[in-house]
Amino acid sequence: MSDGLIPRRYAKALYKFAVENGDSQEIYELLKKLSFRYTAIDELKRAVLNPDISDEEKGAYMLKLAGGRPGSSLDKFLLLVVRNNRAEYLQKISLAYVDLYREAHEIAHVVITTAAPMPEAEVNAIIDIVKRRLGAMTLEIEQKIDPELIGGFTVKINGLVLDASVKRELNELRLQLQKKN
C-alpha cells in the first residue's frame, strides 16, 4: 500500500467518526497542532517509533502534544493508529485529515510569505484579492517571514503558489542571461 493511501484511509475514517461524534472541528484544530509539533519535535518521531515504549504511552504522549483530552475521540484514534503499527504515518494522517476538513468546510489555507514584515494595509490588500478570487470560501491566513525572498512576497493557496518575489525575478534574469551565452 502506498504512503498516501494509508494516511488517506485513516483520515477518512477519523473524519467520518468525528462528524458522527460532533467533534470534527476540535480534532481538526488538534491535528493541525500535532502535525506542526511532529515536524518541530524530533523526539516525538523517535518516541512514536520506539519499540520499548508501550502503545498506551505513545498514544498518551501524542495526545498530550496535540492538547487533547484523555478518553476523547482523538485519544481512541491515536491508540488505534499505534496498535495497528501505523504510527509512522501519523503526520501524513494528520495532514490528510486537515485537508479533508478544509475541503468539506470550504476553507482555503493561505500562506503569505514576505522578506520582511509587511505593513498591515498591504497584507490586507493581498487578502482582499484572494477573497475576491475564492469567493465564499473561508480563509485561514498564515503569515511567514523568509529573508531569502529578498523583497516582494509569495502567496500559497492550498498548495498553489503565486510568486511575486525579488528572488524569483533574479532567478528568471539569471536563466535569461544563461540562455544568451
Query: How far apart (Å, rounded) are the C-alpha atoms in residues 42 and 19?
Result: 31
Task: State whether 89 and 163 are in the same domain.
Answer: no
Asked if the model's pLDDT at residue 22 lies above 90, the reply is yes
What pLDDT, on the 0 to 100 scale, is given for residue 120? 93
For residue 35, the enclosing domain spans 5-103
The amino acid at 124: N
| Beta bridge mates, 160 | 157
What pLDDT, on the 0 to 100 scale, is given for residue 112? 95
Task: State whether 79 and 110 are in the same domain.
Answer: no
- Total count of domains within the chain: 2
Task: State whether 59 and 147 are in the same domain.
Answer: no
Mean pLDDT, residues 126-134 taken together:
92
Query: How far apart (Å, rounded) are the C-alpha atoms in residues 176 and 181?
Result: 9
Query: How far apart (Å, rounded) are the C-alpha atoms in residues 42 and 32?
Result: 17
Q: Is residue 125 within a helix (H) or strand (E), and if so which, with residue range?
A: helix 120-134
What pLDDT, on the 0 to 100 scale, is given for residue 2? 60
Task: State whether 78 and 95 are in the same domain.
Answer: yes
Sheet containing strand 152-157, strands side by side? 138-145, 107-114, 152-157, 160-165
pTM for the whole thing? 0.82
Considering 51, 74, 103, which residue would you say is the last residue of a domain?
A: 103
Band of pLDDT at residue 49, cut at 50, 70 and 90: confident
Q: Please report, for the domain that includes residue 175, its CATH number.
A: 3.40.30
Cβ distance 12 to 67 under 8 Å? no
Dihedral angle, C-alpha 40, 21, 15, 94, nearest 10 °? 10
Mean pLDDT, residues 114-130 taken together:
93
What pLDDT, on the 0 to 100 scale, is given for residue 132? 92
Phi and psi torsions of 175, nearest 5°: -65, -40
Taking only the tens place, the pLDDT of each residue in 66-81 is: 888 888 889 899 989 9
Q: In whole angstroms, how far apart are CA 41 and each of 91, 96, 163?
A: 12, 20, 30
Taking only the tens place, the pLDDT of each residue in 2-16 is: 678 999 999 999 999
The amino acid at 23: D
Asked if the model's pLDDT at residue 136 lies above 80, the reply is yes
Q: Please report, for the domain that includes residue 53, its CATH number.
A: 1.10.520.20
First-to-final CA distance of the chain: 48
